[in-house]
A and B are shown apart, each in its own frame.
Chain A
Amino acid sequence: MTLLEARDLHVQFASRGRRARAVDGVNLTVGEGEIVALVGESGCGKTTLARTLLGLERPASGTVLYGGAPLAYSTRALKAYRREVQLVPQDPTGSLNPRHTVYEAVAEGPRIHGLRDERERVASALSRAGLRPPERFFPVYPHELSGGQRQRVVIAGALALDPRVLVADEPVASLDASVRGEILSLLLRLRAELGLSALVVTHDLGLAWNIADRVAVMYLGRIVESGPVEQVLSAPSHPYTQALLSVLPDSPAPIVLGGEPPDPTRIPGGCRFHPRCHVLASGKAAEAGVDGLCRSQPLEILPSSTELRAACHYARARQPQL
């Protein structure tokens, strides 16, 4: 069952006199007990999408739906919504107030919502996040913790509200390789024990492979390919996904995309990936007779679907079901 949904979402910013279309038409669903990974390079709009899903940013058009009902932006409605959907922010160190102890940081949510049994809640949230025994951490300040422990405190802070969905923005990017697996296992365990759903935002495809059921690949504000992790990551259809996979350190033939990072104030016409597309550049698109389409025919916004979908003329010429 669909829990959290983005429907035709657009988010724009004014940037040096121009309009940056940071999220430019996204359909995405997160089902109950499902872990969805949103991947893409820096600046493609992942964080903006995550913040919009939490109501921190107002969409220019389109809707965020939770449990089928559109998100209301009144203070009261947002407060109620945020008991159900929680964010694990990008930078655990910055996300903890250095003047608050671990106890205060985790108790913040329950206090805001006036929940009873604050102490028990904090203790159980901390132990569910793997900080045991919780009492030992109550009086500790964030600067006395390691990066991995700080990330756990932030996760505990979200868990203290018993949410049903976690939106995690780069949950391990600022952590050491050795702690990474621990935090990812924690997300998997929370799903198994509490039935928690999660949207994990990352630029790390290995992470998606490690924990996600489905993956959505984002490029310049749009989802260009989505589907079950095994299908998308083992046999990517979209040239952008192929490039992302090919630059993983182990891969035999890296396709390094050159050029400037994509600029949301200047989204190219036709397929938005075409100026950097290696399939087009190598002439394979021309062989399939889609090079004209690539340059002039924009692709429609992918519908939210649990099936494999890719927004690419070339891929469709070969696999029409996409």
Chain B
Amino acid sequence: MAVTYRSAAGDVPAVRGVSLEVAEGEALGLAGESGSGKSTLAMALLRLLPKSARVTGEILLDGEDVLRMNWGRLRAVRWASASVVFQGAQHALNPVRRVGEQIAEPLLVHGMATQAEARTRVAGLLEQVGLPAWRARSYPHELSGGQRQRVMIAMALACSPRLIIADEPTTALDVMIQAQVLTLVRSLIADRGIGLIMISHDLSVLAATCDRLAVMYAGRVVEAGPAREVFTGARHPYGRALAEAFPTVGDPSSRMAPRGLGGDPPDPMRLPGGCSFHPRCPAALPSCAWRQVELWPADGVAGDPAGHAAGSTQARHTAACVHVLPEPERSEPERTGPGTPEPGMPEAGMPEAGMPEAEEAGPEAAGGQEVPNAPSAANASGAPDAADIPDDPGAPDARPAKESA
């Protein structure tokens, strides 16, 4: 799936070819810094994006393509099958209406309950999220941040959806309230078999809550796999930087040594060519400036890509970095792709308030086109077939996000 915003300044490719799937009762974590396209991806799943956004690809919800649904069906699906807990939810509640009414609204709108039924249902929902039933009569301002977040979750649960998309549900909260909300979310998935897509920039939070993780950078998934494995053994340098950003208290190696990543998030309108992470990458090779690698098995279990292709594309740990390629691939292949060589690596860590000329030249040439070499390089070695390259940006049949029943 790909999403492009059309803006006055030009097209913004916010999501560039992403394939994900979530099964029932499974929690998928989506990580990445701000602007990496996480929210855009989440909103696109339910077609909640503004008109200026163009979505391509397929979004399958129980096998049905969301992009081809008519409005009536879409509205029914939005609450009943899948619902969203928005980023900054604490400000998303209507300040002048009681929270009980707001939770009951989707039920009444969809004619799924009468007034009286709705009231009992609201009480039940509040209880599920750990709030006393009388809180239904409170106004949002009478609740603390964590309580408001719980109300939002209760609202999302109102129509018993099968999939919940939670966008940064704990980012504005402090550690204790974050823990309360996360405990709640975990128990909901476990007890009710709900699928969850949770978005955050804190990898440790996701690792503790989700089964699988996908790390996004500049609109693409650069690393994916089982949560613990990605968190503790990230193979992509960006995934590693995110995982290290929050230290383990008590770990002597991080004492007095905060670790982070230099440089700034890329401007989606002027993405660097090659691996879009290369200007900030501590492990970049010269070839990274023009060569973009696809997601590749990174779990150290070498070979047999065919067996891997048969199962879910994301059951395995994969990463999109030259360093995970098997040795023969890693050496620089002959340049065949378009794109002028860059006059030199832009200094990592330097800001680009519209400045470095080097980067402006690059993306025009390479970023706009299909990935130059990686697939051909891969095929040349005779190893995997196309199915092993799940994230081909721009490919019309990009893999769907689906919730398999």
Contact = CB atoms under 8 A, between A and B. Distances in A.
Whether A and B are associated in the same complex: the answer reads yes
Nearest to B34: A176
Interface stretch (B20-28, B67-75, B177-185): B177-185
A225 B280 CA distance: 40
A258 B205 CA distance: 19
Contact of A210 (B179, B182, B207, B257): B257
Contacts, number: 134
Nearest to B208: A249
Nearest to A102: B353
B256 interface: yes
Interface string B238-278: 10011011111111001111111110110000000000000
A30 B246 CA distance: 25
B146 interface: yes
Interface residues of B, number: 50
Contacts of A136: 351, 353, 355
Question: Which size class do A's interface residues fall under?
Answer: 35 or more
A248 B249 contact: yes
A104 interface: no
A72 interface: no
Nearest to B248: A250
B261 A42 contact: no
Contacts of A234: 249-250
Binding site secondary structure of chain B = loop
Nearest to B207: A249
B282 to A, nearest CB: 12
Nearest to A208: B249
B404 interface: no
Nearest to A244: B175
Contacts of B258: 180-181, 184-185, 188, 210-211
A206 B249 contact: yes
A262 B176 CA distance: 12
B176 A209 contact: no
B204 interface: yes
Interface string B204-240: 1101100000000000000000000000000000100
Contact of A178 (B174, B175, B247, B261): B261
B145 interface: yes
A257 interface: yes
Binding site secondary structure of chain A = helix
Contacts of A250: 204, 208, 248
A287 interface: no
A210 B247 contact: yes
A206 B33 CA distance: 19
B355 A182 contact: no
Contacts of B260: 178-185
B247 A206 contact: yes
A247 B201 contact: no
A233 B259 CA distance: 19
Contact of B249 (A144, A149, A245, A258): A245
A69 interface: no
Interface string A230-270: 10011000000001110111100010111011000000000
A10 B201 CA distance: 37
A177 interface: yes
B174 A177 contact: no
B241 A178 contact: yes
A140 B242 CA distance: 28
A145 B33 contact: no
Given A140-B353, A145-B353, A233-B249, A205 B144 contact: no
Contacts of B183: 254, 256
Interface string B337-376: 0000000000000110111000000000000000000000
A107 B86 CA distance: 39
A58 to B, nearest CB: 27
29 contacts: A42-B174, A145-B353, A148-B264, A177-B246, A178-B33, A178-B260, A178-B261, A181-B261, A182-B261, A182-B262, A188-B258, A204-B175, A205-B175, A205-B249, A206-B246, A206-B249, A209-B249, A210-B258, A229-B255, A230-B255, A234-B250, A245-B249, A247-B178, A249-B205, A254-B183, A256-B176, A258-B130, A258-B180, A261-B146
Closest 6 CB pairs of A and B: A181-B260, A184-B258, A247-B179, A177-B245, A249-B204, A249-B208
Interface of A: 41-42, 131-132, 136-137, 140, 144-149, 176-185, 188, 203-206, 209-211, 229-230, 233-234, 243-245, 247-250, 254, 256-258, 260-261
